[in-house]
Structure 1
Amino acid sequence: MVKLVLALAALALTLLAVYAEDEVHDISTFKLGEGPVEEALAEGETENPDVVTEAPAASGILSAIAGISIPQCVRKKADLTCPDSDINYYLYSGETKKMKFDTTSDEWFEQSGFDVKKPTVFLFHGYQGGENVMPTVILRDAYIKNGSYNLITADYPTLVKERCDRAAQQNAEPVAKCTADVFAYLKKNGVTAEQTTCIGFSLGAHICGITANFLPEKMAKIVALDPAGARFNRRNKDKRLDEADALTVHAIHTDTRRYGEGEVVGKADVCVNNGRQPACKDAPSESSNDFILN
C-alpha cells in the first residue's frame, strides 16, 4: 500500500512537471530507453555531436520510487548536419511507389518518379506522431489516392516521443533545417518553393513555418491543422508559424482551449466548433458554430 501511495505521488509530480519549466535531470542515473541513440550509449559508442539525450522532468523520482523505466528524450542541436538518421523523408509518386529520399545522390531524383509538372505537398506530423500514425495516415492516403501530387512525408518519431514535449518543441527547428535541405535538393532539380504546399498537424504546423525561414523564396501555401499552442512563443516568429511564412497561410483550429493555438497565425483562420473538440457523439451535426478569425 505504501509503495502504491509513493508511486501515485511520484506520478503527480511528473504530471506537474510537464506543465512547469523544471530543470532537466542528470540522465546518468536513469535507465536507458529503446532506440538507436540509447543503444549506442549503452554499447559505449561515440555520442552523436548533434544529439543531446535527457530524461523528462521529474522522471528520476518516478523511476526511483515506482521502478518505472522512463524513455530518454532526444534533443537535436539546431545546427545539426543534414541528412540525419532520425529525420527521414519519403516520396509517394504513385499509388504503390514509395521511396526514401536520398539528397546525397544526384541519380536518386531521376530514379524516383518525381514529376516536376505536378504540384508538391509536404506533410508533417505532430507530437507523438509518425508517418504511419493517425491522423497523418488519412491525409497521406488521400493524396496518394488522388494521384495528382508529388507527396513528401516527413518522419521523425524519435524526436517527438511521449512525455518529451519540451524536447519535441525544440526539435522543430532541426527538422525544419533538414527540410530546407530537401527543398534545396528539389530546387537543383527544377522544383521551386512556389510549386509546393506544406501541411502540418499540431507541432508539424510550426515546422512548416520555421522551414520558411531557411528558404530563399516563399512556398505557395501552408495549411496548419490545429497548430500547437503550448511552448511556442508568440513574440518570436522565427520559432513558430505566422502569416508571412508562405504566400498563403490557412489555419484550422480545433483545440484552442488546451493544447492548440488560440490566436491568429494565418491569413485565414477557421475555428471549428468554436475552437473546441467536443465528443463526437454529443456534438450536433447540424450546427458547428464555425467562424473565421480573420
Structure 2
Amino acid sequence: MFVRHLILLGIVAAAYSLPLDQANWQLVPNADGYLHLVNINPYNLPEANPSDPEVLFNPETDIEFRLFTRSNPTQAQILQINNPASITGSNFNPAHPTRFTIHGWNGNGNDGMNSRTRDELLALGDFNMITVDWSVAAVTPNYISARNAVGPAGFGVGRLIDRLIELTGANVNNIYVIGFSLGAHVAGNAGKHFNGRINTIIALDPAGPLFSAGQSDAVSPQDGLYVETIMTNAGLLGANEPLGQSNFYPNGGRNQPGCGVDIGGGCAHGRAPAFYIESLRSSVPFRSTRCASHDEVLGGVCTPSGPDANMGGQPSNFGRGVQGIYFLTTNDASPFARELTLETVKQRLLGEESKRADRADFSIEEKSAAFVGEAGGGKKQQRFNGKCHRCGKTGHMQRNCRVKKPESNANTVVGGMC
C-alpha cells in the first residue's frame, strides 16, 4: 500500500508540473492495480469526473484512532471521540508522552510508517502511541478530494486530543503529532486546532502538489511550539518551501542517494519517514549544518550559519533554539545516519568556514582532523605541526589550547579549532 501510494502521488506530481491544458486528467492505478481517470486540475471541480466523486467525510466518526502501549504493543484499542468509555477504559496513561502518527494519500493505519514508528518508540519507553487512520478520505484516486480533507482530518485529531485532555488530564505539552506527505498537513491542522500549543509537529516531506506556504490548511511554523520538517523530495512530491521552524534538507532535499533514477520521486519521498524512524533510537545522530539560505541548500551547497543541530530524534528539538535551514548528508542505505568522519567534515569545511583568514595557514586535511577530534570526544584527536591561530604555539592538541581572556589574566582552556 505504501509503495502504491508513492507511485500514485508521483504520477500526480509529474502531471501537476505540466501546463493545465495538458494535465487535467491522468490514468493512475489504485491500490488493486485498476486504472482510474483522475482529475488533477485544481480549477476543474472533481464533480467533472463522476466516476471519482469527492468523498463524504465526517472526521468525528470516520477517523479510526488506534492506541498502542507497552501493555498492548500490537493489539490496538480503538479510541472514539464520542465514546468516553473507549478512552477511560483503555490503556491510555496521561503520565506517559503521547505520539500520533498520520499516513498520507492512499495510505491507512497499517502503513509501515505507522507500525515502525510505534515499534521504535515502544522499544524506547512508555508511550501512548496513537495511529490515525483517515483512509475514508485518503484512499481515493481523486487526489484533490484527499487534499481537501486535510483540514477536516486535522480537526478530527484535534477533537480527540480535546477528549484526552478532558477525560484523562492529558497535557498538550506532552504530545507530538507526526505526519507523512498529506498526513504532514493533517498534523499541522491538528496543531492549528490548538492555536499552536501542541508541543511538537513533525512534518515528513509534506505533500507539495496543490499546496504552498501560507495556505490556511498547509502545515506552518505556527502550528506547534516546535515544528520540524524533513524534506527529501522537495519540488516534486514534497513541498519546495520551508514550512516549519526548522527545515532539514538531507542531501539537498530533492533526490536521495541509493534511489537510482527515481523518475516519480517515490523513493526519495519515502526516505523522510525512514530517516525519522531511524533517528528515534540510533546511536549515531543525523548531525546537520545550519545554512545561510534555502536557495543554496536546494543546490546542495551550504554556507554554515549558526550552530549545528540533530534532525529528528527523541525527544524533539523543542526548547533548544533550533530554527532555520539545515543540510546534512546520509548513507545510501540503512543505517542512513553518518558518523562524523574525516571525509564528511572535509566536505563541510570546504565551504565558507574553510576560507576564514585566521585558519588560512592550515590545510583542509589539518582542519578536518582537528574538527573530527573535537566532535569525537577526543578519540580521534590529531596533533597539529603547524602554528596555532589562537596562541601562536605549535605541536599541541587542539583541545589543550590555552589563551588569556581579555577580561582576565587567567589561562582558559578553549574548545574549538586551533
> What TM-score results when the alignment is normalised by the length of structure 1?
0.71
CA distance 1:265–1:27, shift in 2 (3 Å) = closer
CA displacement 1:236-294 (0-9 Å, x = unmatched): 3x3111111111111100000301011111111011121123462659xxxx9976552
SS of 1:96's equivalent in the other structure is: strand
Offset of residue 180 of structure 1: 1.4
Residue 231 of structure 1: which of 210, 222, 227 is its match?
210
Offset of residue 118 of structure 1: 0.9
Residue 87 of structure 1: which of 41, 63, 77 is its match?
63
Structure 1 residue 122 and structure 2 residue 100: aligned?
Answer: yes
Q: How many Å separate the matches in 1 of 2:99 and 2:25?
A: 38
Q: How many Å separate the matches in 2 of 1:119 and 1:23?
A: 42
CA distance 1:271–1:93, shift in 2 (3 Å) = same
Offset of residue 117 of structure 1: 1.2
Task: Tell me if structure 1 keeps the 8 A contact 2:97–2:174.
Answer: yes
Task: Tell me if structure 1 keeps the 8 A contact 2:104–2:179.
Answer: yes
**Which amino acid in 2 is paired with 1:24?**
P
> More relative contact order in 1 or in 2 (CA 8 Å, sep 6+)?
1
User: In the TM superposition, what are the counterparts of 1:1-294 in structure 2 within 5 Å?
Assistant: 14-15=25-26, 18-21=39-42, 22-25=44-47, 30=51, 55=52, 72-76=53-57, 80=58, 83-84=60-61, 86-94=62-70, 95-188=73-166, 189-215=168-194, 218-236=197-215, 238-278=216-256, 280=258, 282=260, 292=290, 293=294, 294=324
CA distance 1:223–1:138, shift in 2 (3 Å) = same
CA distance 1:14–1:217, shift in 2 (3 Å) = closer
SS of 2:240's equivalent in the other structure is: coil
Task: Tell me if structure 2 keeps the 8 A contact 1:198–1:222.
Answer: yes
SS of 1:244's equivalent in the other structure is: helix
Task: Tell me if structure 1 keeps the 8 A contact 2:196–2:225.
Answer: no
CA distance 1:26–1:243, shift in 2 (3 Å) = closer
Q: How many Å separate the matches in 1 of 2:235 and 2:155?
A: 30
**Which amino acid in 2 is paired with 1:14?**
W
CA distance 1:87–1:110, shift in 2 (3 Å) = closer
Rg larger in 1 or in 2? 2
Task: Tell me if structure 2 keeps the 8 A contact 1:251–1:265.
Answer: yes
> What TM-score results when the alignment is normalised by the length of structure 2?
0.51
CA displacement 1:10-47 (0-9 Å, x = unmatched): xx87329644233334566x4xxxxxxxxxxxxxxxxx
SS of 1:113's equivalent in the other structure is: coil
Partner of 2:315: none
Q: How many Å separate the matches in 1 of 2:56 and 2:79?
A: 23
CA displacement 1:94-140 (0-9 Å, x = unmatched): 22342000233333333211111111111111111111123333223
SS of 2:221's equivalent in the other structure is: coil
CA distance 1:13–1:186, shift in 2 (3 Å) = closer
Task: Tell me if structure 2 keeps the 8 A contact 1:87–1:156.
Answer: yes
Q: How many Å separate the matches in 1 of 2:256 and 2:240?
A: 16
Query: How many percent of aligned residue pairs carry the same amino acid?
Result: 24
Query: How many matched pairs?
Result: 233
SS of 1:219's equivalent in the other structure is: coil
Which structure 2 segments of 5+ residues have no match? 1-22, 28-37, 262-285, 295-323, 325-418
Which structure 1 segments of 5+ residues have no match? 1-11, 31-54, 56-71
Please report the RMSD computed on the Cα atoms of aligned residues, expressed in angstroms: 2.8
SS of 2:222's equivalent in the other structure is: coil
Between 1:117-126 and 1:209-218, the stretch displaced more is 209-218
SS of 2:158's equivalent in the other structure is: helix
CA distance 1:231–1:103, shift in 2 (3 Å) = same
> Where do 4+ consecutive residues of structure 1 move more than 6 Å?
none
Task: Tell me if structure 2 keeps the 8 A contact 1:103–1:182.
Answer: yes
CA distance 1:165–1:278, shift in 2 (3 Å) = same
